[in-house]
Amino acid sequence: MKTFIVYDLDSKMPVAVGEQVSAETARYCASVVTGTFHTNLFAEEIEVRAKCERFLDCQIRNKSTRNQLHGNNI
């Protein structure tokens, strides 16, 4: 399964986020839920896990740096 954000091409706003096996399936499912014709939707695959891992790594590094600056041990 892959994670997709589905956008309405008319408004250029996201209308759905979820996991599906393909972009076409994501567009179809979003179409059913929103009532928007599937050809007016665009599905973009995103890598949530990689972004979350990078965010958490940054948070851990920042906390470690702050503690070192203030003389606290982790």
pLDDT tens digits, 25-73: 999 999 999 999 999 999 999 887 666 666 677 767 666 655 555 565 5
pLDDT of residue 47: 83
Does residue 8 surpass a pLDDT of 80? yes
pLDDT (tens digit, 9 = 90+) per residue, 55-66? 677 767 666 655
Domain range annotation of the chain: 2-69
d(CA 57, CA 59): 5
Q: Is the pTM of this model over 0.75?
A: no
